[in-house]
A and B are shown apart, each in its own frame.
Chain A
Amino acid sequence: MVFAWSRRKAETVGHGQMLVPVRCEPEVVRDAEPPTIDYQLLGQWIGFADLQRHTMEVLRSEIERTSELVEDSTLDLSRRFRELAETAREQSHRVDEIVAMARFVEIDGIKVPLDELVTNMQQIIGEMIANIVNLSKKAMSMVYLLDDVQKDVTELEKSITDIDGINRQTNFLALNATIEASRAGEAGRTFAVVANEVRTLSKTTSALAQRMRDKITAVVKGVRQGHDILRTIANTDMSPQMLAKERVDKTMDSLVDQTNHFQTVLEGTAASSDELSTVIGRMVTGMQFQDLTKQRLEHVADSMTVMSGGLEDLVARTRAAIPDHIEIPFPQEWIDQLLGRYTLTEMRQRFVRRLLLEGTALDEHGILDVSTEPTQSSGGDVELF
């Protein structure tokens, strides 16, 4: 037997043009005996074709459902991805801002680059130490100077004592001269005047020496006090303060190092965020596969509709061609096989409902005992068997 595909108008389903097999009998068998027709087999075929038609309709509606599910989910995913990309871009901007700020320190409203700040600080401390060194030198020079002044003042005190000695001697000589002059009588009168003058001079010198001694004592006291104060100043060790520069330098270096490290890390983070947003953009573009999938599934569903229509037409025609008493058996075995493959309860229920509309009994599968409501588990109702 040979079949060829010929184009003819579908009458029963009205789904446009369709291909139906038309039997082309070869010339050689035209005069032979007509073949005996197995009506039982045709009855079986009708039963199976009916099931096939319903199955196709169920599958077509499943494909449509699936296509819708994919579409909804894809749109939702695309939206979320776009949000994610936007967030990544914002994050990148914020990190860029932090990177820009990390290089500066704001002092009195003026942005100072960190390295400049460190240099300034080190310069200030350097100047401070230079001042300490300079002051230490000046203080020690002063100490040495006052050491010398003290020695000189002591010399001075000694000189005044010497003057006192000379004075006592002068006074003694003048007294002697006065005595000698009075003994000389009239002849010594003039000499007595001179001797008296010398005594007066000696007294004046003595008073002067005393005044000098008083002043010198005051000066010595002042110098000693100054010396003591200066010693206290010079004795205050500033070397720990000088050595603090080491600590400050290390701290500053660490600060700069740490800031540089932060900057590197943050720049890396900004780059990652940018990359992330680019990748997400590509993912959103990539999700356009859904359009293609939808179109393909529509084609598949359309083809199934056409095939289903064809089957319906053929079943009707075959049914009309066979005698009425021929029994059309229910294809229980195939149904069992089909149902055995549906691992999703929901889908199995929809399939059974579809068949039940046609008045078939499927109670032995116990499917209708299960609630038709979707299971409580949210999201995909995937059941694993």
Chain B
Amino acid sequence: MDYAIDIKEQEALVRLTGRLTFNDHAKLRALIKEMLQNAAKRQILDLANLEFVDSAGIGMLLIAREELSNLDKQFILRKAGGQVKRVLTVAQLGKLITIEE
């Protein structure tokens, strides 16, 4: 998995590409740290180019949400498709994280 952050005032747009699996846990931790440190109130994860997510990936997204929430930052998942969208739906992540089309 790779990511790119684009910060515009109150909004940080993070584009994820590739596959988000357990092997990316160090990288995702670094991303969470960046999201915690930047000034934007809304942290948006663009998942349009994310091909796959495993159960560890779901766990990491929940950790990100928890840590951002502790700093009163909004965490949003956007444009999920394919397997990613199916897993998010089945896991009912929408109950915990704002999911946008």
Interface size class for chain A? 20 to 34
User: Are A136 and B58 in contact, with the CB atoms below 8 A?
Assistant: yes
Q: Mark B89-101, 1 if CB is under 8 A from A, else 0.
A: 0111100000000
User: Are A133 and B22 in contact, with the CB atoms below 8 A?
Assistant: no
The smallest C-beta distance from A142 to any residue of chain B, in angstroms, reads: 10
Q: Which of A71-79, A231-239, A278-286, A332-340 contacts its partner? A: A231-239
* B79 in contact (CB, < 8 A): no
B26, B59, B62: the one contacting A234 at CB < 8 Å is B59
A130, A133, A143, A246: the one contacting B55 at CB < 8 Å is A133
Given contacts A140-B60, A140-B63, contact A133 B91 (CB under 8 A): yes
User: Are B56 and A243 in contact, with the CB atoms below 8 A?
Assistant: no
User: Are A129 and B22 in contact, with the CB atoms below 8 A?
Assistant: no
A136, A137, A236, A246: the one contacting B90 at CB < 8 Å is A246
The smallest C-beta distance from B67 to any residue of chain A, in angstroms, reads: 10
Would you give 22 A-B contacts (Cβ < 8 Å), ordered by A?
A: A129-B91, A130-B91, A130-B92, A133-B59, A133-B62, A133-B92, A135-B59, A136-B56, A138-B59, A139-B56, A140-B25, A140-B56, A143-B25, A234-B22, A237-B21, A237-B56, A238-B54, A239-B55, A239-B83, A239-B87, A242-B87, A246-B90
Given contacts A129-B92, A133-B93, contact A239 B22 (CB under 8 A): no
Least CB separation from B55: chain A residue? A238
* B53 in contact (CB, < 8 A): yes
* B86 in contact (CB, < 8 A): yes
The smallest C-beta distance from A232 to any residue of chain B, in angstroms, reads: 10
Report the Cα distance A239→B22, complex, angstroms. Answer: 12
Task: Note all chain B residues with C-beta closer than 8 A to A245.
Answer: 90
The smallest C-beta distance from A3 to any residue of chain B, in angstroms, reads: 106
List residues of chain B with CB under 8 Å of any chain A CB. Answer: 21-23, 25-26, 29, 53-56, 58-60, 62-63, 83, 86-87, 90-93
The smallest C-beta distance from B30 to any residue of chain A, in angstroms, reads: 11
User: Are B63 and A239 in contact, with the CB atoms below 8 A?
Assistant: no
User: Are B92 and A141 in contact, with the CB atoms below 8 A?
Assistant: no
Report the Cα distance A242→B88, complex, angstroms. Answer: 10
Please name 19 further chain A to chain B contacts, defined as beta carbons within 8 Å, in addition to the given A234-B59, A245-B90, sorted by A numbering: A126-B92, A129-B91, A129-B92, A132-B55, A133-B62, A136-B56, A137-B59, A140-B56, A140-B63, A143-B25, A147-B29, A237-B21, A237-B54, A237-B55, A239-B87, A242-B91, A243-B86, A246-B86, A246-B90
